[in-house]
Amino acid sequence: MTEPPVASSRDRKVPLATRVGLLFWAMTLVWWGFYYSQSGGWLDQLPFKAICLTWTTEDCLALQKTLAQSSIPPYHSILLWVGVIFLVLGFAQARSKRGQ
Protein backbone atom coordinates (compact mmCIF):
# COMPACT_ATOMS: atom_id res chain seq x y z
CA MET A 1 0.00 0.00 0.00
CA THR A 2 1.08 3.52 -0.61
CA GLU A 3 1.22 6.16 2.06
CA PRO A 4 -1.12 9.15 1.68
CA PRO A 5 0.70 12.30 0.62
CA VAL A 6 1.70 14.53 3.51
CA ALA A 7 1.41 18.26 2.95
CA SER A 8 4.68 20.04 3.39
CA SER A 9 4.84 23.31 5.26
CA ARG A 10 5.01 25.12 1.90
CA ASP A 11 1.72 23.54 0.81
CA ARG A 12 -0.18 24.73 3.87
CA LYS A 13 -2.24 27.81 3.22
CA VAL A 14 -2.30 30.62 5.74
CA PRO A 15 -5.93 31.41 6.57
CA LEU A 16 -7.22 34.69 5.19
CA ALA A 17 -8.13 35.89 8.69
CA THR A 18 -4.48 35.51 9.75
CA ARG A 19 -3.31 37.55 6.78
CA VAL A 20 -5.87 40.26 7.50
CA GLY A 21 -4.85 40.31 11.17
CA LEU A 22 -1.19 40.72 10.28
CA LEU A 23 -2.10 43.48 7.83
CA PHE A 24 -3.99 45.34 10.57
CA TRP A 25 -0.99 44.96 12.90
CA ALA A 26 1.38 46.29 10.25
CA MET A 27 -0.88 49.28 9.57
CA THR A 28 -1.14 49.90 13.32
CA LEU A 29 2.64 49.86 13.82
CA VAL A 30 3.20 52.24 10.91
CA TRP A 31 0.45 54.63 12.05
CA TRP A 32 1.63 54.53 15.69
CA GLY A 33 5.27 54.97 14.69
CA PHE A 34 4.74 57.92 12.38
CA TYR A 35 2.26 59.64 14.68
CA TYR A 36 4.29 59.44 17.89
CA SER A 37 7.63 60.02 16.17
CA GLN A 38 6.50 63.62 15.69
CA SER A 39 7.12 64.09 19.41
CA GLY A 40 10.88 63.95 19.76
CA GLY A 41 11.69 61.34 17.13
CA TRP A 42 11.31 57.58 16.86
CA LEU A 43 13.19 56.51 19.97
CA ASP A 44 12.60 59.42 22.33
CA GLN A 45 10.51 58.25 25.31
CA LEU A 46 9.92 54.89 23.60
CA PRO A 47 8.76 53.03 26.76
CA PHE A 48 6.21 55.78 27.40
CA LYS A 49 5.01 55.77 23.78
CA ALA A 50 4.89 51.96 23.64
CA ILE A 51 2.05 51.93 26.16
CA CYS A 52 0.03 54.04 23.74
CA LEU A 53 0.27 51.22 21.19
CA THR A 54 -2.27 49.11 23.08
CA TRP A 55 -4.19 51.48 25.36
CA THR A 56 -5.13 55.14 25.33
CA THR A 57 -4.07 56.41 28.74
CA GLU A 58 -4.29 59.93 30.13
CA ASP A 59 -0.61 60.38 29.27
CA CYS A 60 -1.31 59.34 25.68
CA LEU A 61 -4.18 61.82 25.47
CA ALA A 62 -1.91 64.58 26.83
CA LEU A 63 0.70 63.75 24.20
CA GLN A 64 -1.99 63.74 21.52
CA LYS A 65 -2.99 67.25 22.60
CA THR A 66 0.56 68.43 21.97
CA LEU A 67 0.34 66.88 18.50
CA ALA A 68 -3.04 68.47 17.73
CA GLN A 69 -1.67 70.32 14.69
CA SER A 70 -0.39 67.11 13.13
CA SER A 71 -1.36 66.21 9.58
CA ILE A 72 -1.51 62.56 10.71
CA PRO A 73 -4.78 61.57 12.39
CA PRO A 74 -4.45 60.89 16.14
CA TYR A 75 -3.48 57.29 16.83
CA HIS A 76 -6.07 54.97 18.38
CA SER A 77 -5.41 51.34 19.22
CA ILE A 78 -8.61 50.03 17.59
CA LEU A 79 -6.76 48.65 14.55
CA LEU A 80 -4.44 46.68 16.82
CA TRP A 81 -7.39 45.03 18.56
CA VAL A 82 -9.20 44.35 15.27
CA GLY A 83 -5.98 42.67 14.15
CA VAL A 84 -5.96 40.55 17.32
CA ILE A 85 -9.52 39.40 16.62
CA PHE A 86 -8.61 38.42 13.06
CA LEU A 87 -5.48 36.60 14.25
CA VAL A 88 -7.52 34.61 16.77
CA LEU A 89 -10.03 33.74 14.04
CA GLY A 90 -7.18 32.71 11.74
CA PHE A 91 -5.68 30.54 14.46
CA ALA A 92 -9.06 28.87 14.98
CA GLN A 93 -9.40 28.30 11.21
CA ALA A 94 -5.95 26.73 11.03
CA ARG A 95 -6.68 24.44 13.96
CA SER A 96 -10.02 23.34 12.51
CA LYS A 97 -8.37 22.54 9.15
CA ARG A 98 -5.70 20.48 10.90
CA GLY A 99 -8.40 18.47 12.63
CA GLN A 100 -10.03 17.49 9.33
Write the pLDDT tens digit of every residue in 26-66. 999 999 999 999 998 878 888 889 999 999 999 999 999 99
Q: Distances in Å between the alpha carbon of 32 and those of 10, 38, 67?
A: 33, 10, 13
Using a pLDDT cut of 90, give the percent of the chain over it: 69
Q: In the chain, what percentage of residues exceed pLDDT 70? A: 87
Q: What is the mean pLDDT of the chain?
A: 88
What is the arithmetic mean of pLDDT over 84-90?
A: 97
- pLDDT value of position 42: 78
pLDDT of residue 14 exceeding 70 = yes
Question: Taking the CB of residue 3, how many other CB atoms lie within 10 A of it?
Answer: 5
